[in-house]
Amino acid sequence: MASTNLFSIIMTLIVFTIRTCNSAFPSAILVFGDSTVDTGNNNYIKTLFKGNFYPYGEDFPGKIPTGRFSNGKLVPDFVASLLGIKETVPPFLDPTLSNDDLLTGVSFASAGSGFDELTTAASKVILVSKQIELFKAYIVRLKSIVGEEKAKRIISESLVIVSAGTNDLVFNFYDLPTRKFQFTISEYQDFLLAKLQSFVKEVYDLGCRTIVVAGLPPIGCLPLQMTVRYVDPFKRKCVEDQNSDAQAYNHKLQKLLNQMKALLPRSTIVYANIYEALIELIQHPQKYGFVETKRGCCGTGLVEAAFLCNPITPTCAKHSQFVFWDSIHPTQSTYQYLAENLGLEAFPNKLLHNHSNLF
């Protein structure tokens, strides 16, 4: 794993970058998406997609199962800490939120969500486009605390993180191939990207200006996807066609975000290359202090997730050596690695694209 020294170096680079570019330093973080960034909103809605029980949260401060689908913190938590905003990002639906919680940002994300309406039809989780309604409610509450002008400034200076799309492909195209009857894979990618484009435009219209959009991970390397494809557990390996699909989607996403940035005045829209960061970890685990990449820490690690990963399910002895906590979701150690990669990739490179003479 990257060391805490690297974490401090990245923090210094980000602070220096934003200040030298005369950009406002983010004082709040706003998060949209799926289980990779849901810090507990599903606790407060009627759905089976919950992670508010052990062994989830075993390594979270206080050993609290907060609803995060991991053993500890997620990327937004690490990024918020990296930027000096706060140590963890609370879910917007938490009824105990303080004014300070609201001023420094929240997560609107919902585990199991996606861009396609079909993705949430059965689970009843909050579709990404519907998370906009939560954001609008947040803006109303923010204005009641600090007034309209300051609320606008907080929103315009916030860092927005968007992470979704994996569930759309897994639920609707691979494991339950409903959309395969309507679309080719390329057409379905375009369908999802059109919805993502509308979402980002709406967030921009509501005042956000700095938006980081995560690409897809190597979906074919998720333990569950390997289990579904390969009957023999000893012959499991990454599903290459699913990884190729993710790469093709990401290529289109990068192109789309560059086009949007050019069309939306004063916007900073950044692509977060989660795919390359995670595939590097999976292919060279020992380099980063990991050992196990093909199964999760919870239970057998082959199929367990959500309610199948529960208080009576045994877990591995060394959590930090596993890339995945359950058969779908990364461990806290992996999320920290991804957050550090996001810091290096998204902030210095993208924010300095017109200021390369500074270093």
Active centre residues (catalytic): 35, 326, 329
Given 3-state DSSP classes, what are the helix, strand and coil percentages for the chain, each rounded to the nearest 5? 50, 10, 40
d(CA 22, CA 25): 9
What are 241's two structure tokens?
A: 């066609």
CA 131, 246, 48, 41 dihedral sign is negative
Q: Contact 55/298 with Cβ under 8 angstroms?
A: yes
What are 70's two structure tokens?
A: 């991991």
Q: Contact 89/105 with Cβ under 8 angstroms?
A: yes
What are 273's two structure tokens?
A: 């290359």
> Reduced to 3 states, what is the DSSP secondary structure of residue 30?
strand
Q: Contact 327/296 with Cβ under 8 angstroms?
A: yes
Q: Contact 78/36 with Cβ under 8 angstroms?
A: no
d(CA 311, CA 1): 28
The candidate with the shortest Cα–Cα distance to 111, out of 65, 60, 48, is: 48
> Reduced to 3 states, what is the DSSP secondary structure of residue 78?
helix
Give every CB contact of residue 308 below 8 A, 6+ residues apart in sequence. 299, 326
Give every CB contact of residue 299 below 8 A, 6+ residues apart in sequence. 308, 309, 313, 314, 315, 326
d(CA 359, CA 95): 46
